[in-house]
A and B are shown apart, each in its own frame.
Chain A
Amino acid sequence: MVKQRVLCVSALLIAASVLSADASQQLPGDPKAKGRDITAESIRRDAGFGDTRSEMTMSLMSDGAEVSRRTLRMSVLEEANEQLGDKSVIFFETPKDVQGTVLLTHTKILTPDDQWIYIPAISRVKRIASANKSGPFLGSEFAYEDLTAQELGKYDYVWLRDEACPAPDAARKCSVIQRRPLYENSGYKRQVSWIDNTDYQFRKIEFYNQEDRLLKTLTLSGYQLHEGRYWRPHQLLMVNHQTGRSTKLDVTELKLRTGLTQTDFTEQAMERLR
């Protein structure tokens, strides 16, 4: 079966910005600069992947029991210019009643993304309002904003402490960094991320709502090394502490540098996917 252009969790944790740390202007040991530098290094290590195509299964769970399952194909095109965001196409494979629906997103750094949806039954591409970043993605515990690329400029940062990474990687040390969204319409006051000091990969992110209550925890695991250089998580678990619901995202297939170009991320390209 031909892999189409859709895919990737790169949306999730990968970013495109190569960042020139302005740490030189900061005092050594400044926790803000340190938080930003560590995050920048994490993003830098993921940069240069070009594009990805992935297939994934999204399981929606309530009190630990699966209530529904979706399969998606996703493509991501890396944008080298850090003032611009990545582009992504998500193709819905199941449930069958939504099969063929396509979501195209041109990510922006601080302003609302450009977004289109293709509805196959009426052969219609609709441009949609994307300001709803804090809304749930397809009934899951992931919000749209959790699924877009991790551009450095979207947050400000502060390093809090170093501590053992979350289980099962407790033998390793993680930097605990708080970040606050700078973009419009976020549902979060702040997030706290655990970044592994050895490979600079995210292990865990806590999401605090606007009232500063712990809303959700994302755990990233099943890291695999691609092309000998890029670590990618293949399991993502988002737990909502307020509702007891959770969403598991399993990346079943992931390919980097598949040769996608700008023309694969247009309205015309959406209509072409089957």
Chain B
Amino acid sequence: MLGQGRKAQTKLLLLLTVAAGIAPAYAGDAGTLTMRGSLGAEIRAFTMRPAYALQDSDPVQGSIIANAKLSWTSANNDVVIDVAPFLRLDDTDDERTHGDLREAAVTVYSDHLDLRLGISKVYWGVTESRKLVDIVNQTDLVEEPEGDEKLGQPMVMLRGHVADFEAAALVLPAFRPRTFPGSEGRLRPALAIDEDRAQYESGERTGRVDVAGRLKGRIDDIDIGLSYFSGTSREPRIVFDGTTLAPVYDVIDQAGLDVQATLDRTLLKLEAITRDGHRGSDARRFSAVVAGVEHTISQIFETAWDLGLILEFNWDDRPSSAPPTIYDKDFFVGARFAFNDDGDSSALLGALIDAEKGSVYATIEASTRLYESLRIEIEGSFILHAGDRDSVLRQYRDDSFLSVRLIHFL
């Protein structure tokens, strides 16, 4: 087991060495170095006392967050190196205290081809309520329950593009296990999910070499992406292993489709996947779709504000033994405000409504600039109603929270 972990590390080291090997060729190149960073302080206040044993009884959780990004661009602009470390120190949950290299990659560009080596982030998809197609990077779930924060993924990515078409091929030599809140933390099931007890279908464990690819094209107002992934599922099944809950990472195949039509003030969006490979008791191939519309009304109420109205429908027919999801048959309604002001203020209010189980899950995100280099971000997540049959959402029904973050940009 240790040996497998070491194997993954060796591969990663190899990748970084290759990346570093390219660097001396540019040693004489002054290029451009840019640095940016931020320091943040966050408080997260839960509306209710914790439901489970071992959880910290203090309803307020405090954190300090540091982000940095160092980038170097060669003088003729054909090589870019990025290094982006991240660190969170949390006063409640040891598992939430963590660091990560979000990026540590070198990318070499030519007119129609680029090659990236190292740790990086790749985003695929178009919809708002669920990131269905996006699969390359693992979710850094301790960051926030929506799963929008991602861990850096070691990769070799080759991309080619001609006119409005792009093809990408990725080799992913190391797997990043998902992060989960610890036993003192909130936003977890009755038992904490123990990352150290992770089970893998692949004998290579985190060292399995996964592959992925995507074709993307634009024809007038329509953007289409077709993607494929073969490797260790980023989403684990959660099983009780006799002691606690353990994540189980199966090897899957997934094909994805993402489409956006951009029509003046209206965006039509669709994401769909079909996936096979999870091994649970009633395992079978399953599919999922999220589709919807975002319509923007400009200068509402005779102000400079833009209001985007979002309506999406989620459908997912995964079997009960597959990794749990709350998006099985759900509507999402949302309102996105762009205030077009000095502070680049924005807000997104949304509600996910389960069409069968009646659950209502509301979210809010808002931010504005207070001073030149200080920004405030507010994030809230509220389970307004957890339906009796909604076994997934019910586990978190006492974990509604509002978090406030002050971020100073350096």
Q: Which residues of A contact B (CB under 8 A)?
A: 1-2, 4, 60, 67-68, 95-100, 112, 114, 120, 122-124, 127-129, 131-132, 134-136, 138-139, 184-185, 263, 266-268, 272, 274
Q: Closest 5 A-B residue pairs measured CB to CB?
A: A96-B409, A131-B264, A274-B71, A132-B298, A124-B123
Q: Name the one of A120, A132, A134 contacting B265, with C-beta atoms under 8 angstroms.
A: A132
CA distance A184 to B264 in the complex (A): 10
Assuming the contacts A135-B298, A263-B111, A274-B80, asked whether A129 and B266 have C-beta atoms less than 8 A apart, the reply is yes
Q: Which residues of B contact A122 (CB under 8 A)?
A: 121, 123, 148, 150
Q: Which residues of A contact B344 (CB under 8 A)?
A: 95, 97-98, 138-139
- Report yes or no: B123 in contact with A2, Cβ–Cβ below 8 A: no
Assuming the contacts A97-B369, A99-B36, A123-B122, asked whether A68 and B342 have C-beta atoms less than 8 A apart, the reply is yes
Assuming the contacts A98-B344, A123-B123, A139-B342, asked whether A268 and B114 have C-beta atoms less than 8 A apart, the reply is yes
Interface residue B91 (Cβ < 8 Å from any Cβ of A): no
Q: Which residues of B contact A98 (CB under 8 A)?
A: 344
Q: Name the one of A127, A135, A184 contacting B304, with C-beta atoms under 8 angstroms.
A: A135
Q: B66 to nearest A CB, angstroms?
A: 14
- Report yes or no: A127 in contact with B31, Cβ–Cβ below 8 A: no
Q: Which residues of A contact B296 (CB under 8 A)?
A: 129, 131-132
CA distance A268 to B77 in the complex (A): 13
Q: Name the one of B36, B75, B77 contacting A100, with C-beta atoms under 8 angstroms.
A: B36
- Report yes or no: A134 in contact with B161, Cβ–Cβ below 8 A: no
- Report yes or no: B159 in contact with A268, Cβ–Cβ below 8 A: yes
- Report yes or no: B122 in contact with A272, Cβ–Cβ below 8 A: no
* New A-B pairs, 11, CB < 8 Å, besides A123-B120, A123-B123: A67-B342, A96-B409, A97-B409, A122-B123, A131-B296, A139-B340, A139-B342, A263-B111, A268-B161, A272-B77, A274-B73
A-B contact pairs, 8 of them (CB 8 A): A95-B369, A114-B262, A127-B223, A135-B306, A136-B340, A268-B114, A274-B32, A274-B80
CA distance A185 to B299 in the complex (A): 12
Q: B114 to nearest A CB, angstroms?
A: 7
Q: A5 to nearest B CB, angstroms?
A: 8
Give a binary string over B265-301; 1 marks a CB under 8 Å from any A CB, 0 the rest: 1110000000000000000000000000000101100
Residues of B in contact with A, size category: 35 or more
> Which chain A residue has the least Cβ–Cβ distance from B125?
A124
- Report yes or no: B161 in contact with A266, Cβ–Cβ below 8 A: yes
CA distance A2 to B372 in the complex (A): 25
Q: A178 to nearest B CB, angstroms?
A: 24
> Which chain A residue has the least Cβ–Cβ distance from B216?
A267
Interface residue B375 (Cβ < 8 Å from any Cβ of A): yes
Q: B225 to nearest A CB, angstroms?
A: 11
Q: Which residues of A contact B263 (CB under 8 A)?
A: 129
CA distance A274 to B70 in the complex (A): 10
Most buried by B among A95, A124, A184, A267: A95
> Which chain A residue has the least Cβ–Cβ distance from B299?
A135
Q: A147 to nearest B CB, angstroms?
A: 14
Q: Which residues of B contact A135 (CB under 8 A)?
A: 298-299, 304, 306, 340
- Report yes or no: A97 in contact with B298, Cβ–Cβ below 8 A: no
- Report yes or no: A123 in contact with B121, Cβ–Cβ below 8 A: yes
CA distance A257 to B299 in the complex (A): 37
Q: Name the one of B161, B262, B375, B407 contacting A129, with C-beta atoms under 8 angstroms.
A: B262
Q: Which residues of A contact B306 (CB under 8 A)?
A: 132, 135
Q: Which residues of A contact B82 (CB under 8 A)?
A: 274
Interface residue B243 (Cβ < 8 Å from any Cβ of A): no
Q: Which residues of A contact B264 (CB under 8 A)?
A: 112, 129, 131, 184-185
CA distance A96 to B262 in the complex (A): 30
CA distance A132 to B307 in the complex (A): 11
> Which chain A residue has the least Cβ–Cβ distance from B78?
A272
Q: Which residues of A contact B304 (CB under 8 A)?
A: 135-136, 139
Q: Name the one of A129, A185, A267 contacting B267, with C-beta atoms under 8 angstroms.
A: A129
Q: Which residues of B contact A263 (CB under 8 A)?
A: 111-112
CA distance A168 to B257 in the complex (A): 59
Assuming the contacts A2-B77, A274-B73, asked whether A131 and B265 have C-beta atoms less than 8 A apart, the reply is yes
> Which chain B residue has the least Cβ–Cβ distance from A92?
B344
Assuming the contacts A4-B77, A136-B304, A274-B73, asked whether A96 and B410 have C-beta atoms less than 8 A apart, the reply is yes
Q: Which residues of A contact B121 (CB under 8 A)?
A: 122-123
Q: Which residues of A contact B375 (CB under 8 A)?
A: 97
Q: Which residues of A contact B77 (CB under 8 A)?
A: 2, 4, 272
Q: Which residues of A contact B109 (CB under 8 A)?
A: 272
Q: B370 to nearest A CB, angstroms?
A: 10
> Which chain B residue has the least Cβ–Cβ distance from A101?
B344
Interface residue B206 (Cβ < 8 Å from any Cβ of A): no
Interface residue B232 (Cβ < 8 Å from any Cβ of A): no
Q: Which residues of B contact A266 (CB under 8 A)?
A: 161
Q: A161 to nearest B CB, angstroms?
A: 33
- Report yes or no: A134 in contact with B299, Cβ–Cβ below 8 A: yes
User: Among residues 2 to 33 in chain B, which have CB atoms less than 8 Å away from a CB atom of chain A?
Assistant: 31-32
Q: Which residues of A contact B90 (CB under 8 A)?
A: none
CA distance A97 to B376 in the complex (A): 11
> Which chain A residue has the least Cβ–Cβ distance from B375?
A97
- Report yes or no: A2 in contact with B223, Cβ–Cβ below 8 A: no
> Which chain B residue has the least Cβ–Cβ distance from A112?
B264
Interface residue B260 (Cβ < 8 Å from any Cβ of A): yes
Most buried by B among A112, A128, A185, A268: A268
Q: A121 to nearest B CB, angstroms?
A: 9
- Report yes or no: B340 in contact with A138, Cβ–Cβ below 8 A: yes
Q: B336 to nearest A CB, angstroms?
A: 11
Q: A144 to nearest B CB, angstroms?
A: 10
